[in-house]
Amino acid sequence: MPERRRGSLDEPGNRDSPEHLGAGVAAPVGATPDGRESDYVEFNRSLKVTAMASGFVEEMKRFRPSGLTLAAWGGLTAIFVYTYFDALRMMVRIWWREPDYGHGFVVPFFSLALLWLRRDMLDPLPQRGSWWAVPVFALWAAVRLFSAYYYYLTLDPASIVLFFAGLTLALGGWRALRWAWPAILFLIFMVPMPTVAATALRHPLQRISTECSVFVIQTLGIPAVVVGEGGNVIQLEKEVLGVVEACSGLRMLMLFFAICVGAAFILRGSWWEKVVIVLSAAPIAVFANVVRITSTAVLYQLEFKTLAEKTFHDMAGLLMSPIAVALLAGELSLLHKLFPAPPEEQPLTLSGRPEASAAGMAGGGGTGRGPGAARARRGGR
Using CA atoms, how far apart are residues 182 and 178, in angstroms rounded to an integer?
A: 8
Identify which has the larger pLDDT, 188 or 10: 188
Which one is predicted more confidently, 122 or 223? 223
Where residue 83 falls among pLDDT bands split at 50, 70, 90?
A: confident
Q: Which residues, in sequence order, are CB contacts of 283 under 8 Å at separation 6+?
A: none
What is the C-alpha separation between 378 and 372, in angstroms, rounded?
10
pTM: 0.66
pLDDT at 80: 86
Q: Is the pLDDT of residue 358 over 70?
A: no
The pLDDT score that the predictor gives to residue 138 is 94
The pLDDT assigned to 363 comes to: 44
H or E stretch covering 369: none
Measured over the CA atoms of residue 269, residue 274, residue 280 and residue 284, the dihedral's sign is positive
pLDDT exceeds 60 at position 277: yes
Distances (CA, A) of 223 to 7, 158, 236, 243, 292: 83, 46, 6, 17, 18
Mean pLDDT of 48-75: 64
Q: What is the pLDDT of residues 279-298, one digit of tens each?
A: 888 888 888 888 888 888 88
pLDDT tens column, 235-254? 888 788 777 655 666 767 88
Cα–Cα distance measured from residue 241 to residue 222, given in angstroms and rounded to the nearest whole number: 13
**Spatial distance between the Cα atoms of 185 and 118, rounded to a whole number of angstroms:** 14
Domain parsing of the chain, residue ranges: 18-62, 75-192, 196-338
Interatomic CA distance for residues 38 and 259, integer angstroms: 43
